[in-house]
Amino acid sequence: MPRLANLPVRSTSPFLDDLPDAELYFLDGRHWLLETHLDEVVALMRDFLGRRHAPPG
């Protein structure tokens, strides 16, 4: 079964129930996520922030 850190993936569903607009991504980086998947994390964060906090106009 896939895991998120030390939790099974199925344990994440309550977060999505409570935060319906949340976005959840599973990357197999564990403790060293930024060392192993930096480009992917940065792209996901920039995309999210660009859509959620775009300047007016």
Q: What is the 3-state secondary structure (H, E, C) of 1-55?
A: CCEECCEEHHHHHHHHHHCCCCCCCCCCCHHHHHHHHHHHHHHHHHHHHHHHCCC
- Spatial neighbors of 55 by CB under 8 A, at least 6 apart, are none
pLDDT above 90 (res 38): yes
- What pLDDT, on the 0 to 100 scale, is given for residue 30? 75
pLDDT above 90 (res 29): no
| Averaged pLDDT, 16-45 | 88
Band (pLDDT 50/70/90 cuts) for residue 1 is very low
Written as six digits, the tokens of 51 are: 């859509």
- What pLDDT, on the 0 to 100 scale, is given for residue 57? 67
